[in-house]
């Protein structure tokens, strides 16, 4: 009977609505935005009628904490990103919307450190240090890109897109691929203690990134779809977590968290991920200092943007190209 735990059915709810959200993001972004905003109404309903959401009683500390979490996630990063996708605003608006979105992402990582005193063990502490490393890397990455004049959000496609052409998406340049790998493992280890099924949220945003990648014509690196996929995916995941919690069938079920100190593999993951986060930090510092292949990264990734790159680096590269060409034809 443990296999037919009520969470078995919520997993299917999550999966189905993730697919719906991904399709709507491409075909009906306005309608999707409305649904994600209306999803937070479960909290006022809980307060008005005195109904608990899962084990959280209205007005209790954990109720307010998760209410704030739902409000922030469904509104703070999702609304500006979807606004940019729907309206194609000016470069200035894209710039500030992106900065705000990545600030929310960083704040969301920092927010998890508040749970550390409640789960003070070796795995959680190391994972907490990884969260701190991720936050520092994120800040350095944004500063490095903006110092070169990069606009962190870009809307793909033609505004007069024909029906047979690739769909419009948001490219977000604020996170590197290596950062996302560390972020995924870090987040999975964090949520595992609360409920194992929460790892679905990490699987979901990678699936959504891949979906957007193919249906937008593979126009950019897969990591650049994170800024669009993560807010939509997480907002829909939280919505489909909150609403079932109002029903007794789900509410009365025992939580299915996992003790991360129960197996050495979790400690191995935490330590390995923490060590890999130093590589991420090293790469972000390279972007800041213009070494380790940073110039090549900027030129290849931001072909459509006018960047403030050093002229000396450009001249040096052209000289090397000329020498190689001369040597080949001589």
* Residue 147 reports pLDDT greater than 50: yes
> What is the tens place of the pLDDT at every residue in 249-258?
998 888 778 8
8 A C-beta contact, residue 236 and residue 21: yes
Decide: residue 288, CB within 10 A, 0-12 exposed, 13-18 middle, 19+ buried. middle
* Residue 326 reports pLDDT greater than 50: no
Average pLDDT for residues 115-130, to the nearest whole number? 85
3-class SS letters over 158-224: CCCCCCCCCCCCEEECCCCHHHHHHHHHHHHHHHHCCCHHHHHHHHHHHHHHHHHHHHCCCCCCHHH
pLDDT of residue 265: 96
Q: Long-range contacts made by residues 271-278, C-beta under 8 angstroms, separation at least 24?
A: 271/126, 273/127, 273/130, 273/182, 273/185, 273/186, 273/189, 274/126, 274/127, 274/129, 274/130, 274/133, 276/178, 276/181, 276/182, 277/130, 277/133, 277/134, 277/137, 277/182, 278/133
Average pLDDT for residues 228-247, to the nearest whole number? 95
Picking from 57-66, 67-76, 114-123, which range would have the lowest pLDDT averaged per residue?
A: 114-123
Q: How far is CA 108 from the centre of its chain?
A: 10
pLDDT of residue 160: 58
pLDDT of residue 320: 46
> What is the tens place of the pLDDT at every residue in 23-49?
999 999 999 999 999 999 999 999 999
Picking from 125-139, 164-178, 187-201, which range would have the lowest pLDDT averaged per residue?
A: 164-178
> What is the tens place of the pLDDT at every residue in 187-202?
999 999 888 999 999 9
Q: Average per-residue pLDDT in the chain?
A: 88
pLDDT of residue 310: 60
pLDDT of residue 269: 97
pLDDT of residue 94: 94
Greater confidence, 161 or 218?
218
pLDDT of residue 171: 94
Q: What percent of the chain has pLDDT over 90?
A: 64
For 180-190, letters b (16+ CB in 10 Å) and e give bbbbbbbbbbb
Q: Name beta bridge partners: 154.
A: 171
Q: What is the DSSP string of 281-307?
A: HHHHHHHHHT-TTHHHHHHHH-TTS--
């Amino acid at each position: 009977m443990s296999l037919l735990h009520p969470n078995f059915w919520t997993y299917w709810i999550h999966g189905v609505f993730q697919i719906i959200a991904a399709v709507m993001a491409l075909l009906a972004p306005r309608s999707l935005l409305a649904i994600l905003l209306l999803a937070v109404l479960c909290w006022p309903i809980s307060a008005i009628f005195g109904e608990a959401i899962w084990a959280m009683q209205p007005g209790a500390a954990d109720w307010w904490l998760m209410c704030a979490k739902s409000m922030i996630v469904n509104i703070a990063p999702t609304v500006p990103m979807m606004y940019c996708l729907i309206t194609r605003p000016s470069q200035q608006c894209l710039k500030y919307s992106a900065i705000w979105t990545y600030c929310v992402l960083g704040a969301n990582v920092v927010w998890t450190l508040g749970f550390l005193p409640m789960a003070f063990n070796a795995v959680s502490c190391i994972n907490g240090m990884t969260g701190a490393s991720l936050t520092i890397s994120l800040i350095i990455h944004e500063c490095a890109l903006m110092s070169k004049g990069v606009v962190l959000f870009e809307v793909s496609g033609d505004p007069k897109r024909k029906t047979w052409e690739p769909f419009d998406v948001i490219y977000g340049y604020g996170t590197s691929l290596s950062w996302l790998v560390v972020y995924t493992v870090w987040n999975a280890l964090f949520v595992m203690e609360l409920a194992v099924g929460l790892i679905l949220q990490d699987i979901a945003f990678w699936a959504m990134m891949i979906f957007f990648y193919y249906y937008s014509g593979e126009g950019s690196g897969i990591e650049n779809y994170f800024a669009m996929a993560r807010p939509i995916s997480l907002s829909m995941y939280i919505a489909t977590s909150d609403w079932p919690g109002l029903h007794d069938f789900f509410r009365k079920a025992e939580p299915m968290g996992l003790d991360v100190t129960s197996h050495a593999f979790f400690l191995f993951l935490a330590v390995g991920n923490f060590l890999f986060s130093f590589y991420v930090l090293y790469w972000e510092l390279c972007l800041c200092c213009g070494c380790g292949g940073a110039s090549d990264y900027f030129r290849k990734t931001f072909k459509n943007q006018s960047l403030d790159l050093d002229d000396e680096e450009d001249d040096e590269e052209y000289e090397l190209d000329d020498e190689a060409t001369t040597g080949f034809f001589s």
